[in-house]
Amino acid sequence: MPSATYARRTVTVNDEGFFEEPDQWTEEMAPEIARTAGIDELSEQHWRIIKFMRAEYAEKGTGPTVRVLGKTSGVSIKELYELFPKGPAKTAAKIAGIPKPRGCI
């Protein structure tokens, strides 16, 4: 199993860099993960989505897809893609330390 080091702590990740154990994640790790995902600085809106991803995962055991994010996070699809150009649900899940959301739509 591959590992990565964020905020001086080693965590287990899968081949795509998603956390295998979301409990290993801490908020201090987010900016570093974001940089590896091409986002230099996390804004308030980024954090809003990251926290939303964590909450959804804690509640449902899976992260939301982009459509669900657009409908329930209070941030529009357009803005989501401005915040996370490389795929909002995927990138936000990676930064939030949860598995990649599964879902076709």
Partner 1 sequence: MADTIEKVSIIVSKGSLEGIYPALIMANGARAEGIEANLFFTFFGLDAVHKARHEHIKVATVGNPGLHLATLAGVVPGMSSVMTHYLEHKMEKLDIPSIPEFIEMIADTGAGLYGCKASCDLFGLAKDDLIDQVKDIITVGEFYEMAAGGEIIFT
Of the candidate spans 23-31, 39-47, 56-64, 81-89, the one that interacts with partner 1 by CB under 8 A turns out to be 81-89
- Shortest spacing between CB 21 and partner 1, in angstroms: 21
Q: Which is nearer to partner 1, 88 or 99 (CB)?
A: 88
Categorise residue 64: left if φ over 0, alpha if ψ from -120 to 50, beta otherwise: beta
- Out of 3, 14, 26, 76, the residue judged to bind partner 1 by CB under 8 A: 76
- Tell me the Ramachandran region of residue 17: left when phi exceeds 0, alpha when psi lies from -120 to 50, beta otherwise: left
Report d(CA 6, CA 3) in Å as an integer.
10
- The pair of structure tokens assigned to 92 is 């936000």
Nearer to partner 1, 11 or 93 (CB): 93
In the residue annotation, 82 being an active-site residue is answered as: no
